[in-house]
Amino acid sequence: MKEHNKDGFTLVEIIIVVVIIGVLAALAIPAFTKVQQTSLKNAVLNDLRVIASAADQYFLENDATSVAVSDLDIYLHMAPTDASSYSNLLYPSDATEGTPLEVSGNTLPGGTVSLHF
C-alpha cells in the first residue's frame, strides 16, 4: 500500500483560503473607495473655505464685492490644494460676495462641491 505524505496542503484547503481572501477583498475595496472619495471631497471643501476666507478679508479691506482668485495670493495664508493633483478638478477663477464657490470634476462624488459664503 502507498504511503501518503502529510507535509503539504491539499487542493481543497488551498481553494478555501483563496475563496476567503477573495471575499475579504470584495468587502474591503468598495469601503476603501468610499473613504477615498470622502477624503477628496473634504479636501476640496477645505480649499473652498480657505478661498472664501481670503475673499472675505479682501472684500472688507478693499470695499469690493468681487475678486479674481489669482489676486488673493497675499490673503491665502495656506495655499489651496494644487488642482493638478486631483485629476483635473476645476477650481473657481473668481469670487463674488453672495455667490457660492464651486469645484467640479468627474472624480468628485456628485460631480460638484460648492460652498456658500
Helix, strand, coil distribution of the chain in percent, nearest 5: 50, 15, 35
- Give the per-residue pLDDT at 77: 67
- Give the per-residue pLDDT at 83: 46
pLDDT per position in the chain (117 positions), as tens? 566 667 788 999 999 999 999 999 999 999 998 898 888 888 888 888 888 888 888 899 999 888 888 888 887 765 555 544 555 678 888 888 888 888 887 777 778 888 887
- Give the per-residue pLDDT at 81: 52
- Give the per-residue pLDDT at 19: 97
- Give the per-residue pLDDT at 100: 86
**What's the grid cell of residue 43?**
479636501
Residue in the block written with cell 477573495 = 22
Q: One-letter amino acid identity for 29?
A: I
| Residues in Cβ contact with 70 at an 8 Å cutoff, skipping those fewer than 6 apart | 93
Closest Cα partner for 113 from 49, 61, 66, 57? 49
| Bridge partners, residue 95, by sequence | 67
